[in-house]
Structure 1
Amino acid sequence: MLNLVSDIFSRYCLMVLLILGTIGLTLNTLIFTRRTFRQNSCVHYFLASTIANYFVVFFILPSRILSDGYDIDPGQYNLPYCRLRFYTYFTAKSLSSWFIVLACFDRRMSSSQSVHSRAFARPIIARWMIAITTLVGLLFYAYVPVFYIIDSNHNCGARAGFYSLFDDSVYLVGYSLAPPLLMLIFGIWTIGNTRRLRRIVPRGRRLSPLNKRDHTLMLMLFLQVTLITITTVPHAVQKLYSTLTLDVPKDDFTKAAENVFIIVVRTVSFVNHSCTFYLLTLSGKMFRQELYKITRKFMCKLGRQAIRTDHQLRTLTQTVKFTTSNPQLQRKQQLKKRNTEQMVSIQNRLT
Structure 2
Amino acid sequence: MSANGTSLHIYFLNVIVIDLFKYVQPIFFIIGNLGNLLTALVFWRKTWRKNVCVFYFKIYLISTTCYINSSLFGSIFTTGYVIRSHDSNIILCKLYFYTAFLFAIHPPTILILACIDRLLISSRNVETRMYSSKRLAYFSVTLGTIFWVVFNVHILIMVHIQEIRPSVFICYYDLSYGYQNFVYYYLPIVNISFCLIMIILCSVSFKNVRHIRLVSRQRRNQERTMTKKDFQLLHCLFAHGVTYVIFRIGINISYGYDAITRGQARTATQQAIETFVNNFLVLLFNSWYCISIFIYVGISKAFRYELKKMLYKTCGIEVLPLREEENRQEKIGADAGPAENAESEEDVLAIKALQRDNLRSNVSIEKPKSDGFVTNEYDVEFLSQICRTAPNIIAKDSTSKLIGYALAVLPENASNSPEINELVSLINHTEYKGKPTKTYKYYIMGQVCIADGFRGKNIFDRMYDKHRELYGNSYDLVITDVTETNVRSFRAHLRVGFEVLHAYKGHLTDETWYIIAWDWRN
**1:56 and 2:67 matched:** yes
User: TM-score, length-normalised on structure 2?
Assistant: 0.55
Q: Secondary structure at the match of 1:54?
A: helix
**Structure 2 residue 90 is matched with structure 1 residue 75:** no
CA 1:281 to 1:43, structure 2 compared with 1: closer, same or farther past 3 Å? same
Which one of 230, 243, 246 corresponds to residue 262 of structure 2? 246
**Structure 1 residue identity aligned to 2:289:** H
- Give the match for residue 349 of structure 1: none
Structure 1 CA distance for aligned equivalents of residues 67 and 208 of structure 2 = 35
Partner of 1:40: 51
Determine if the alignment matches structure 1 residue 201 to structure 2 residue 184: no
- Contact 2:106–2:148 under 8 Å retained in 1: yes
CA RMSD, aligned part only?
A: 1.8
User: 1-side partners of 2:254 and 2:162: how far apart?
Assistant: 21
Which stretch of the first structure deviates more once superposed, 123-132 or 261-270? 123-132
**Equivalent AA in structure 2 for residue 192 of structure 1:** K
CA deviation after TM superposition for structure 1 residue 131, in Å? 1.1
Q: Which of 119, 123, 131 lines up with 2:130 in the alignment?
A: 119
Partner of 1:341: none
Question: What is the distance in 2 between the residues matched to 1:240 and 1:157?
Answer: 19
CA shift for structure 1 position 204: 6.3
- The equivalent position to 1:157 in structure 2, one of 169, 172, 179, is 172
Matched, 1:30 2:46: no
What's 1:258 paired with? 274
Q: Find the aligned partners of 2:286 and 2:148 in 1 and give their Cα distance.
A: 19
Alignment pair present for 1:234 and 2:250:
yes
**Contact map agreement 2:185 2:259 (CA 8 A) in 1:** no
Match for residue 285 of structure 2 among 265, 269, 272: 269
Partner of 1:107: 118
1:202-233 Cα offsets, whole Å, 9 max, x none, are: 54689431221121111111111111111123
Q: Residues 188-337 of structure 1 correspond to what in structure 2 (within 5 A)?
A: 188-201=203-216, 203=218, 207-300=223-316
| Alpha-carbon distance between aligned partners in 1 of 2:302 and 2:71, rounded to the nearest angstrom | 31
Q: TM-score scaled to structure 1, two decimals?
A: 0.81
- 173, 176, 200: which one pairs with 1:185? 200
Distance 1:48 1:231 in 2: 21
Q: Which has the higher helix share?
A: 1
DSSP 3-state at the match of 2:153? coil
Kept after mapping to 2: 8 A contact 1:77/1:150: yes
Q: Give the drift of 1:246.
A: 2.5
1:267-325 deviation per Cα after TM superposition (whole angstroms, max 9, x unaligned):
10011111111222111111101101211222229xxxxxxxxxxxxxxxxxxxxxxxx
Cα separation, 1, equivalents of 2:249 and 2:102: 17
Q: Which has the higher strand share?
A: 2
AA at the equivalent of 1:111: S
Q: What is the number of residues matched between the two proteins? A: 300
Q: Deviations over 1:73-119 (max 9, x none)?
A: 11211122111111111111111111111111111100112222111
Aligned equivalents of 2:187, 2:14: Cα separation in 1: 28
CA–CA distance in structure 2, aligned partners of residues 207 and 296 of structure 1: 37
Higher relative contact order (CA 8 A, sep 6+): 1
Task: Report the 3-state secondary structure (helix = DSSP H, G, I; strand = E; otherwise coil) of the residue aligned with 2:50.
Answer: coil
DSSP-derived class of the 1:155 partner: strand
1:6 partnered with 2:17: yes
Amino acid at match of 1:286: A
- Shift of residue 239, structure 1, vs aligned partner: 2.8
User: Is the contact made by 2:195 and 2:241 (CA closer than 8 Å) also made in structure 1?
Assistant: yes
Aligned ranges 1:338-349 → 2 under 5 Å: none
Structure 2: which amino acid aligns with 1:186? L
CA contact (8 A) 1:165 1:240 kept: no
**Contact kept? 1:39, 1:122, Cα under 8 Å:** no
Matched position secondary structure for 1:210: coil
Task: After superposing the two structures, state which structure 1 stretch, 162-171 or 190-199, moved more.
Answer: 190-199
**C-alpha displacement at 1:244, in angstroms?**
3.3
